Each structure stands twice: as C-alpha cells, then as structure tokens.
Amino acid sequence: VCSMKIARFAVPAIAALFILEQPACADPDTGNFQINAAHDGQIRFSKSFEAPLEQRWTRKLPGLPSYPVSGEGMVFVSVDTDAGVELYALHAKTGRVAWQASVQNGGAPMYDAGRVFIVSFSGLVQAFDAQTGALLWAKQQDSSNYDNPGVVGDGNVYFVASRSGA
C-alpha cells in the first residue's frame, strides 16, 4: 500500500535535487544506496507523473561527491576533496549547507532514525546526529578493507569487510 510521500531524486555529479509531489511506494528516507535495500533504484508510483521536472536547487561541492541519501528533510553526501573527505548535510528544500564534518577516508553516507553513518575504507564506523552533525560515536573495526556502501536499518549498520587471505 502506498502512502503520500515526496519522492526525492538527487544527481550526485551536480548535487541537484528534483522533487515530485506524487505518492510513492518507496520510502524516500531509506538511507540506502540506490533508494532501497536491494540497491536497484526502483521506485513504483501509484499514479503516473509528467515531465518536465522542476529543478529546485543546485549546490557546487568542493570535490567528488558520493551517492547522496536523504532523511529528515536533509540530503547527506560525502565529498572527497584534496584536503580529505567531508560529510555534508544539505537542506532538501533549499540546498543550503546545514552542517559539515570531516570524516576519515569515508565512503557514501547512510541514514537511519535520525542518525547518519559512514564507514571509512579502513574500518572506522562513525555515527552523526542528522540535524546537528554532532558525532555520536565512533568505533574502529579490525584492519580489514571495507567496501561501500553499507546498509542501515533498525539501528544496525551492515557493511562488507575483506582482508588478505580471507
């Protein structure tokens, strides 16, 4: 059963946000890569919509952006810059930067229940408050390599780790 939602589509290359005010079956606040836990990017609408889409805003970011995720009226994206990786929270309606935080060589952010998670390629898992950007906790995993993106849900963070010989 579909409920009334606002479907959000973001283009990472230019961090543009397009909003369709149509009922969507997929929850836009999944916090996962490619819209849903299957990472297939599928959204099923209960009613069709017609183009053209209206571009609401664009935001130039200072480096290569990750795939964005959304939650609580924000868009979260990590940006690989010459100085390191920055995690940005942008207001979904305006594109204005709400907060940013430096993260250790992190991959794509994940959103769940008011928190933004990021797993670095060296295994540092960090959780941030989605509204303020305050670091809630950080935990270093063993010395494996960590692939991104991970998946979050029901307070759990899932990611793939690999190490030589394993």
Give the largest Cα separation in the chain, rounded: 52
Confidence bin at 2 (pLDDT 50/70/90):
very low
* Tokens standing for residue 155: 């307070």
* pLDDT at residue 33, as a whole number: 59
Say how many C-beta atoms besides its own lie within 10 A of residue 122's C-beta.
14
Q: Are the beta carbons of 19 and 56 closer than 8 angstroms?
A: yes
Average per-residue pLDDT for the chain: 77
- From first CA to last CA, the distance across the chain in angstroms is 43
Between 31 and 84, whose confidence is greater? 84
Amino acid residing at 151: V
Between 110 and 49, whose confidence is greater? 110
Between 58 and 164, whose confidence is greater? 58
CA distance 116 to 61: 19
pLDDT tens-digit series, residues 20-74: 443 344 455 555 556 666 667 676 777 777 778 888 899 999 999 988 999 999 9
Nearest to 133 by CA among 73, 87, 80: 87
* pLDDT at residue 57, as a whole number: 92
* pLDDT at residue 11, as a whole number: 41
* pLDDT at residue 103, as a whole number: 92
Which 3 state secondary structure label does DSSP give 66? coil
Number of alpha carbons in the 13 Å side-chain half-sphere of residue 155: 0
Say how many C-beta atoms besides its own lie within 10 A of residue 30's C-beta.
20
